[in-house]
Amino acid sequence: MNNEANEWIPSYGVVLEDAALQAIKYPKNISIAAGPGAGKTELLAHKAGYLIERNICPYPKKILAISFKSDAAKNLQERVQKRYGKDVVSRFESKTFDAFSKGLLEQFLHALPEKYKPKKDYKIILNERTIDDIVKGYITETNLHYHNWQNEYNFNQLMRTIKSTNLPLVSFENDLYSWINERLWRLLIKGKGDLKSSLTFPMISILVEYLLNQNPLIVNALRATYSHVFLDEFQDTTYLQYNLLKTIFLGSDTILTAVGDNKQRIMGWAGALPNAFEVFTIDFNAKQTTLLCNFRSAPKLVYIQNVFSQTLNDISVNVQATGNWNEHDGTCEIWNFENHISEASILAQNISEWMNEENLTPKDFCIIVKQQEKIYAGAIMTELAKFNIRSRVEKDFQDLLSEEIILLLIKFLELSYKEKSPELWLNIIDEVIEMKYGDIEFQRLNYISIEKELVNLLQEIKTCFSNLDESNFNVCFESILMKIVDYLDEDIIKSTYPKYSQGNYLNEQIQKMISRLNYENGTSMEELICDFCGDYSIPIMTIHKSKGLEYQTVIFIGVEDAAFWSFSTQREADKNAFFVALSRAKERIIFTVSNQRDVSRFGKIENTRQTTCNISELLQTLENAGVPTINKNKVTTNV
């Protein structure tokens, strides 16, 4: 067996470094520090393949993979499918922490005591601000100690109280927050009048934690279901999530694999544990290992990342650039400007030249800012437009482009102009069969009539689009999308993806999509969809949104005190953020600094460099690694 295990190699001809192979085969709890570009998704996908193919995760046991973002969860699921196929992926559950706990709550709702049992059709509260109105609108009791309590509590403090609630509920009349909190929980769990039973995701975690503590049999069932658990982006685990993890798996035979990078811990302000890996290693007696390859960045950039990572509060290892590179490949420079106007025009000029000389497309670039995309990238968007280069703030599209219904609609629209793509055709047919005829036996399906219906739909889409009333685009396009929704059947969409049953959510997403389409007279369906998917635009985003992504060229605008305002209080977090931005680039990264910038949102041009937080420490580290600072002030521009 041991011998056999040593001979195992990853599928698909993928080459993994030794440390990764060891981590895949290690039979106990392990934590893996995987820096930028280390191939963490690939590692987990192959570990899943190894465990299932080798029967180390024996049938009918499963592997559970928990991520924080739905994109990451989906990505991992798809990678396992791609590398190891249906048999492996059918026993691999990749979901987000919230999806996992929501699933548990719904599956075991009956086991909760009546007073903590939400209604079956409870609503999810995403926007916590609405809780303020609920408290003021629905809690009518009076408190002897706080006659005017509605105006005496601090909203953020109340949010913290909710998230640190221990069940069963206790409340003291003379403790304002516990008093409100108890009433709020009861109110939200059961609803009142026209207020439906409603929960936030942190509340779901707390309820599930309580449920499991009260019902050891459910815990045992979970332990028996999952022989292995993968934890992705582990540095971002919150207190609630970690507790739930401990409640379920601590002391069990289930083997845990935690992957992540302390150096990319940028969610601390949102409640991530300060030392998740440390705590995990101790609690679960886990072995620690570190991956040493970077498959993303050119050698010079990896060198700079190594130097920078030594200034971070984490064990520092020298990572090796891996791939088809020459020793001197990679460009990193700091560009200094007098003001944001010259900065924008010089950058746009350079981007245009790079596109022409190196045959790059907009998607090879990314403009990253610390925060407030429209303020920091506003000027460059205008300048790029003068070169006929499109750019867009990706935030407005990212959420929409990860909505299941939007992805479905896009697929149908794509098929209406890509008639000769058998891959897309089969993919859609598969999906339609699963959604509409999932419970019908394989042999009894009438493929011919299913295909015929689809052909009819595509024909209708084409006819409708070619007869489009150009002055009334939104209405006409909506009718096209509604044809697809009708074809799939709204009720079936809602039962396949329950989130669309909530309120008007489905329609809202469709309306958002229509409002973001860039139609001018004569735009073809293909151009419309490709544009919507971002094929023609340079993406503009914050560091947080860029995490996990990579680009040939990265432009970081505004390495200035005014942008890194939290640097004096959140030094580590901001340094980590800077490291995340630095490590997005495959071949070239330019950092810009401007003496003046329009950052006030009220049209006041301000000095952005000299305040008290003094971010220049970061630039100094780069200069020490040999990064040149280039003064771009001499160039004359029309201001």
Partner DNA sequence: CCCTTTAAGCTTTTT
Partner DNA sequence: GCTTAAAGGG
Residues that bind DNA (CB under 7 A): 68-71, 95-96, 98-99, 102, 124, 126, 128, 151, 154-156, 201, 267, 269-270, 370-372, 395, 398-399, 402, 498-499, 502, 505, 542, 544-545, 565-566, 568-569, 573, 600, 602, 604, 606, 611-613
Shortest reach from residue 143's CB to DNA, in Å = 18
CB-nearer residue toward DNA: 361 or 600? 600
| DSSP helix/strand/coil, 369 | strand
Shortest reach from residue 64's CB to DNA, in Å = 14
Shortest reach from residue 6's CB to DNA, in Å = 38
In a 10 Å sphere around its CB, with 0-12 CB exposed, 13-18 middle and 19+ buried, how is residue 439 labelled? exposed
CB-nearer residue toward DNA: 70 or 331? 70
CB-nearer residue toward DNA: 158 or 461? 158
CB-nearer residue toward DNA: 201 or 325? 201
Helix axes of 155-163 and 129-138: crossing angle, nearest 10 degrees: 100
Shortest reach from residue 468's CB to DNA, in Å = 32
The count of residues in the chain is 639
CB-nearer residue toward DNA: 346 or 513? 513
| Beta pairing, strands 585-598 & 605-607 | antiparallel
Instruction: Please report which helix (H) or strand (E) contains residue 188, including its range.
Output: helix 176-190
Shortest reach from residue 270's CB to DNA, in Å = 4
DSSP letter for 159, please: H
Shortest reach from residue 413's CB to DNA, in Å = 23
CB-nearer residue toward DNA: 69 or 462? 69
Closest CA to 615 of 576, 573, 559, 572: 559
Residue 372: CB atoms within 10 A of its CB come to 14
- CA dist 106 and 110 (Å) reads 8
Apex CA 102: angle with CA 100 and CA 104, to 5°?
70
How far CA 7 is from CA of 15, 82, 246, 279, 319, in Å, comes to 14, 22, 34, 34, 26
Q: 230: Cβ–Cβ under 8 A, 6 or more apart, which residues? A: 44, 47, 48, 63, 64, 65, 66, 76, 256, 257, 259
How far CA 241 is from CA of 66, 167, 314, in Å, comes to 10, 16, 23
Radius of gyration of the chain from Cα atoms?
27
First-to-last C-alpha distance (Å) of the chain: 73
Shortest reach from residue 71's CB to DNA, in Å = 5
Residue 617: CB atoms within 10 A of its CB come to 12
Shortest reach from residue 151's CB to DNA, in Å = 7
CB-nearer residue toward DNA: 241 or 305? 241
Percent helix, strand and coil across the chain, each to the nearest 5: 55, 15, 30
CB-nearer residue toward DNA: 25 or 571? 571
Shortest reach from residue 1's CB to DNA, in Å = 38
CB-nearer residue toward DNA: 232 or 343? 232
CB-nearer residue toward DNA: 267 or 413? 267
Shortest reach from residue 447's CB to DNA, in Å = 31
Q: Which two tokens stand for residue 252?
A: 């069990």
